[in-house]
């Protein structure tokens, strides 16, 4: 998730663009850059670091001109560095591109271009766009871009300018958000409303697959591939800047909950071979043989990331039959873990800077053990120190309570488990293909759950109003995800809750169940369904108020519980990434109903860099 700004008009483009980028730093802040059409042609400046560094860099040598594009980066392909910063230019420096999102087939395009002699200076997927456009250019930038996007697969938004047509900016949206601002003799591009709000409140919101051509005389919107004109109503923005930063949502947490379909898509997209319905992990440096040789794994992490690890344990063991132990990072390093040369340690960290996780990683490395990191921040300490990294492409997570990072961590680990099982031959091609089909549906199914958000507000009121204690129960994978549901509720609503393996309740905790104590029970695992229902009956008999979670069509559960939340049907093994969504919303509504600060819960920090 990066920030894009573009401007064409009569003001100093560099000032407008950098001013807009400052408002988008919440979308990414590891490097920044700007390109301006000067009287000497296309010029640009870019640097690793925050936007302030770019401004410092430009002090006394401002790029003079009234057309420009700029970018603030949240690294995906390639670490934060000057070379990987945007804008990216082609070899002749006549075309400049800023990009948000992922080009899934960039490696194939890159190889084709390399064969034609194009040389690449960065590790990014974006640079291929600049070279591709230069390669295809036929004197008409609009037609060229239309052609180029037919060759690019992925979810992205682009801002493009060329010295050959200096009075024009091109904006393209495919999945990643993009807006175009309307001015008098000027026009703007922004990947979010705050980027341009200080200049205009009248905008067009581009839909998926649309292109806008911006000149000083106006804005033309068309279907990107066909060129067919599109009529769009003006969207007048009444929000203030803070509301705009949250995309109109009340909080970053709610915004991030809603970003999950996109984040999931980005995390899965380029790692699926659609033709063969299999998983590819090109980022792994170790060979298939090396990977297949591991006979034992530790997953080490903290909090929500550790909960994603609990889901992964079940999945890896089921798909590959390799034993996996999940360890809390703060405990792991002090317990003298058993390492052999066939042990793989997987560390999970959204921030990549959590002190306990980093210490656990170093402990493993000290013993010569291979470490694979799952991280959301390219170039983070965990990512740098691990032997291997699989990134979750969730984009920056601002709210303290992790939501989209959890679902993307889980998905990255599903992909890893599937990949490993392909290598080891522990699952058949058909079984993997079936999982791939269902995995690809998860983003849209998540969007469906989010569309019914209002019903969760009512459920949250019924279950949490006036409540001080609450229980979550489930078995197997359902139990793993209840731990995350319970943590989410605790940290933002301050309601005490506990997650229990449903069968374990009767060994002590059942004593806490009395009239109207809410119990939230997950029952998505068919082979455990009857057992879970028996446990629900046990708590009901003690007076509990019960809320069940089941797959759509599983109407059996409704006969036992007081209230049911249905999630779209998927394979039982994939259920955690869907059942967690209503649990995130439950926690969110419980918190807002109590008037609490959802984004900044008391006593907590986003990244815990102390032991
Ligand atoms: C809870 C939450 C924390 C983090 C934990 C690890 O919502 O966000 O429990 O998951 O502090 O953080 P990372 O993943 O950055 O290592």
CA distance 540 to 452: 27
Q: What is the rounded average pLDDT of the residues 238-250? A: 83
| pLDDT at position 78 | 83
Ligand 1 centroid from CA 607, angstroms: 7
CB-based contacts of 271: which residues, under 8 Å, 6+ apart?
Answer: 279, 280, 281, 415
Atom of ligand 1 nearest to the CA of 307: 10
pLDDT at 91: 95
Closest CA to 54 of 24, 10, 22: 22
CA-nearest residue, atom 16 of ligand 1: 349
- The mean pLDDT value of the chain amounts to 94
Distance between CA atoms of 322 and 296, rounded to whole angstroms?
A: 6
Phi, psi of 561 (to 5 degrees): -90, 165
Query: pLDDT tens digits for 47-67?
Result: 998 889 999 999 999 999 999
Residue 135, pLDDT score: 97
Residue among 218, 112, 213, 79 at smallest CA distance from 158: 213
Domain co-membership, 305 together with 228 = no
pLDDT of residue 139: 96
Distance, in Å, from the CA atom of 80 to the CA atom of 72, rounded to the nearest integer, reads 11
Note whether residue 79 is domain-resident.
yes
Residues 20, 377: Cα–Cα separation, whole Å: 23
pLDDT at 611 over 80: no
* Confidence at residue 308, expressed as pLDDT on a 0 to 100 scale: 98
Same domain, 78 and 192: yes
Residues 6+ apart with CB under 8 A from 458: none
- The residue from 398, 420, 449 where one domain ends is 449
pLDDT band, residue 76 (cuts 50/70/90): confident
Asked whether residue 601 is domain-assigned, the answer is: no
Q: How many domains does the chain have?
A: 3
Q: Are 576 and 525 in contact (CB under 8 A)?
A: no
- How many Å apart are CA 306 and CA 416, to the nearest integer? 16
Q: What CATH number is attached to the domain comprising 549?
A: 3.40.50.10490
Task: Provide the pLDDT for residue 513.
Answer: 94
DSSP string across 139-174? S-HHHHHHHHHHH--EEEEEEEEETTSTT-EEEEEE
pLDDT(26) > 80? no
Helices (H), 152-251: 241-245
Entry field: residues in the chain: 611
Please state, in angstroms and rounded to a whole number, the distance separating the CA atoms of residues 449 and 534: 27
* Ligand 1 atom closest to residue 406's alpha carbon, by position in its atom list: 10
* pLDDT mean over 57-82: 91
Same domain, 481 and 443: no
Banded model confidence at residue 24, pLDDT cuts 50, 70, 90 = confident
CA of 561 to the centre of ligand 1 (A): 32
Counting from 1 in the atom list of ligand 1, the atom nearest the Cα of 488 is 7
Are residues 472 and 424 located together in one domain of the fold?
Answer: no
Identify which has the larger pLDDT, 483 or 30.
Answer: 483
Q: Is 76 helix (H, G, I), strand (E, B) or coil?
A: coil
Contact partners, residue 309, CB within 8 Å, separation at least 6: 299, 300, 301, 326, 346, 348, 413
Cα dist from 212 to 34, 36, 185, 341, 559, whole Å: 20, 19, 16, 55, 53
159 and 40 within one domain = yes
Domain shared by 399 and 483, yes or no: no
* Residue 111 domain-assigned (yes or no): yes
- What pLDDT, on a 0 to 100 scale, did the predictor assign at position 115? 97
* CA–CA dist 174, 101 (Å, integer): 9
Is residue 30 within 8 Å of residue 74, measured between CB atoms?
yes
Q: Please tell me the predicted confidence (pLDDT) of residue 196.
A: 93
Residue-wise pLDDT tens digits, 524-536: 999 999 999 999 9
Residue 289 binned pLDDT confidence (cut-offs 50, 70, 90): very high
Same domain, 513 and 445: no
Pairing of the two strands 545-551 and 518-522: parallel
E-state strands within 206-260: 210-215, 218-223, 235-236
Order of strands, edge to edge, in the sheet holding 370-375? Answer: 324-328, 296-301, 343-349, 370-375, 388-391
Instruction: Say if 268 falls within a structural domain.
Output: yes
User: What's the pLDDT tens digit per position in 512-560?
Assistant: 999 999 999 999 999 999 999 999 999 999 999 999 999 999 999 999 9
Asked if residue 157 is part of any domain, the answer here is: yes
Helix (H) or strand (E) holding 313: helix 303-320
Q: b or e along 560-576 (b: 16 or more beta carbons within 10 Å of the residue's beta carbon)?
A: bbbebbbbbbbebbbbb
Q: Which of 251, 253, 302, 397 to mutate to test the pocket of ligand 1 (most atoms within 8 A of CB)?
A: 302
Pairing of strands 324-328, 296-301: parallel
> Which of 305, 391, 405, 584 to mutate to test ligand 1, by most ligand atoms within 8 A of the CB atom?
305
- Return the minimum-mean-pLDDT range out of 78-82, 111-115, 483-487: 78-82
Residue 600 lies in a domain: no
- Is 2 marked active-site? yes
What band does 79 get if pLDDT is binned at 50, 70 and 90?
confident
Do residues 73 and 159 both lie within one domain? yes
Final residue of a structural domain among 245, 276, 302:
245
Which pair of tokens denotes residue 386? 């691990």
SS3 485: helix
pLDDT of residue 43: 96
The reply to whether 425 and 548 lie within a common domain is no
CATH for 149: 3.60.20.10
User: For residue 1, how far is its CA from the centre of ligand 1 (angstroms)?
Assistant: 19
Comparing CA positions, the residue from 492, 466, 490, 487 lying closest to residue 580 is 487
Structure tokens at 112: 């084709």
Residue 598 lies in a domain: no
- Same domain for 391 and 501, yes or no, is no
Specify the residue with its C-alpha closest to ligand 1, atom 9: 303
- Report the pLDDT value the prediction gives residue 338, as an integer from 0 to 100: 94
Contact 547, 489 (CB under 8 A): no
**Which residue in 108, 428, 157 sits closest to 282, CA to CA?**
108
Atom 10 of ligand 1: nearest residue by CA position: 304
Contact, 5 vs 188, CB < 8 A?
Answer: yes
Q: Whose CA is nearest to atom 3 of ligand 1?
A: 303
Ligand 1 atom at shortest distance from the alpha carbon of 382: 16
Instruction: Choose one of 346, 347, 350 to mutate for the ligand 1 pocket test, by most ligand atoms within 8 angstroms of C-beta.
Output: 350
Which atom belonging to ligand 1 lies closest to the Cα atom of 397?
8
The pLDDT, as a whole number, for residue 177 is 82
If you measure from the C-alpha of residue 605 to the centroid of ligand 1, how many angstroms do you get, rounded to a whole number?
9
| Residue ending a domain, choose from 245, 275, 303 | 245
- What is the mean predicted confidence (pLDDT) over 330-357? 94
Exposed/middle/buried for 368, CB within 10 Å: 0-12, 13-18, 19+? exposed
Q: What is the domain range of residue 113?
A: 3-245
Relative to the CA of 306, which ligand 1 atom is closest?
10
Is 302 annotated in the active site? no
Q: Which residue has the higher pLDDT, 598 or 239?
A: 598
Contact 118, 135 (CB under 8 A): yes
Ligand 1 neighbours, Cβ below 6 Å, are 302-305, 349-351, 354, 357, 401-402, 491, 607-608
CA of 357 to the centre of ligand 1 (A): 10
Which of 253, 307, 327, 354 has most ligand 1 atoms within 8 Å of CB, for mutation? 354
Contact 470, 569 (CB under 8 A): no
Q: Nearest C-alpha to atom 8 of ligand 1 is from which residue?
A: 402
pLDDT higher than threshold 80 for residue 607: no
Distance, CA 492 to ligand 1 centroid (Å)? 13
For residue 232, the CA-to-ligand 1 centroid distance in Å is: 41
Which one of the listed residues 2, 246, 302, 408 is annotated catalytic? 2
Q: What tens digit of pLDDT does each residue of 594-604 get?
A: 999 999 888 88
Contact 426, 31 (CB under 8 A): no
Asked whether residue 74 falls in the same domain as residue 153, the answer is yes
Instruction: Output the pLDDT for position 23.
Output: 87
Instruction: Please tell me the distance between residue 348's alpha carbon and the centre of ligand 1 in angstroms.
Output: 9
Q: Can you give the pLDDT at residue 500? A: 96
Q: Is residue 1 predicted with pLDDT exceeding 80?
A: no
Q: Please tell me whether residues 472 and 323 are part of one structural domain.
A: no
Ligand 1 centre from 548 Cα, in Å? 27
Q: Is the bond preceding 87 in cis, omega lying within 30 degrees of 0? A: yes
Give per-residue pLDDT as tens, 92-141: 999 999 999 889 899 999 999 999 999 999 999 899 999 999 999 999 99
Read off the pLDDT band of 142 (50, 70, 90).
very high
Q: Which of 79, 365, 600, 606 is catalytic?
A: 606
Q: What is the pLDDT of residue 428?
A: 97
Query: pLDDT grade, residue 147 (50/70/90)?
Result: very high
Distance, C-alpha 235 to centroid of its chain: 27
- Ligand 1 center–CA 303 separation, angstroms: 5
Question: Residue 183: its pLDDT value, please?
Answer: 95
Atom of ligand 1 nearest to the CA of 409: 14
Asked if 149 contacts 225 with a C-beta cutoff of 8 angstroms, the reply is yes
Phi, psi of 106 (to 5 degrees): -65, -30
Asked if the structure places residue 607 within a domain, the reply is no
For a mutational test of ligand 1's pocket, the pick from 402, 598, 611, i.e. the residue with the most ligand atoms closer than 8 A to its C-beta, is 402
């Amino acid at each position: 998730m990066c920030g894009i700004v573009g401007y064409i008009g009569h003001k100093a483009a560099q000032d407008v663009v950098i001013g807009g980028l400052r408002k988008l730093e919440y979308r990414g802040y590891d490097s920044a850059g700007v390109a301006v059409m000067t009287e000497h042609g296309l010029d640009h400046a870019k640097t690793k670091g925050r936007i302030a560094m770019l401004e410092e860099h430009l002090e006394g040598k401002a790029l003079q001109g009234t057309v420009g594009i700029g970018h603030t980066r949240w690294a995906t392909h390639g670490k934060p560095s000057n070379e990987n910063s945007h804008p990216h230019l082609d070899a002749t420096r006549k075309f400049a591109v800023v990009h948000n999102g992922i080009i899934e087939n960039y490696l194939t395009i890159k190889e084709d271009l390399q064969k034609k002699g194009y040389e690449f200076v960065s590790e990014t997927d974006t640079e291929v766009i600049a070279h591709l456009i230069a390669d295809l250019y036929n004197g008409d930038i609009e037609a060229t871009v239309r052609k180029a996007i037919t060759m690019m697969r992925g979810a992205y938004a682009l801002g493009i300018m060329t010295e050959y047509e200096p009075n024009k900016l091109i904006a393209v949206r495919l999945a990643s958000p993009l807006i175009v601002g309307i001015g008098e003799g000027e026009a703007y591009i922004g990947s979010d409303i705050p980027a341009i709000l200080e200049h205009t409140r009248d905008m067009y919101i581009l839909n998926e697959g649309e292109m806008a051509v911006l000149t000083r005389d106006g804005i033309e919107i068309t279907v990107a591939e066909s060129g067919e004109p599109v009529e769009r109503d003006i969207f007048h923005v009444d929000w203030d800047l803070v509301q705009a930063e949250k995309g109109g949502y009340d909080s970053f947490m709610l915004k991030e909950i809603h970003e999950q379909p996109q984040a999931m898509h980005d995390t899965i997209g380029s790692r699926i071979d659609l033709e063969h319905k299999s998983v590819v992990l090109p980022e792994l440096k170790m060979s298939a043989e090396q990977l297949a040789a591991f006979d034992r794994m530790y997953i080490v992490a903290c909090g929500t990331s550790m909960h994603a690890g609990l889901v992964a344990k079940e999945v890896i063991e089921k798909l590959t039959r390799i034993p996996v132990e999940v360890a809390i990072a703060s405990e792991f390093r002090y317990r003298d873990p058993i390492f052999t040369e066939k042990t793989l340690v997987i560390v999970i960290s959204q921030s990549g800077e959590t002190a306990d996780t980093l210490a656990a990683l170093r402990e493993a490395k000290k013993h010569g053990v291979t470490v694979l990191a799952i991280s959301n921040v390219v170039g983070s300490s965990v990512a740098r120190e691990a032997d291997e990294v699989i990134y979750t492409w969730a984009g920056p997570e601002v709210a303290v309570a992790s939501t989209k990072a959890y679902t993307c961590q889980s998905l990255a680990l599903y992909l890893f488990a599937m990949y490993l099982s392909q290598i080891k031959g522990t699952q058949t091609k058909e079984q993997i293909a079936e999982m791939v089909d269902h995995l690809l549906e998860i983003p849209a199914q998540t969007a469906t759950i989010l569309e019914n958000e209002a019903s969760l507000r009512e459920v949250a009121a019924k279950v949490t109003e006036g409540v001080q204690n609450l229980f979550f129960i489930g078995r197997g994978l359902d139990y793993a995800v209840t731990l995350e549901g319970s943590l989410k509720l605790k940290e933002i609503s301050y309601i005490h809750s506990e997650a229990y393996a449903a069968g374990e309740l009767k060994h002590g905790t059942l004593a806490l169940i009395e009239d109207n104590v809410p119990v939230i029970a997950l029952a998505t695992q068919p082979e455990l369904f009857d057992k879970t229902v028996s446990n629900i009956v046990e708590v009901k008999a003690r007076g509990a108020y019960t809320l069940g979670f089941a797959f759509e069509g599983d109407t059996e559960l409704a006969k036992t519980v007081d209230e049911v939340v249905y999630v779209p049907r998927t394979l039982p093994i994939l259920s955690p990434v869907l059942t967690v969504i209503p649990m995130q919303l439950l926690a969110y509504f419980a918190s807002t109903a109590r008037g609490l600060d959802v984004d900044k819960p008391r006593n907590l920090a986003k990244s815990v860099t102390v032991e």
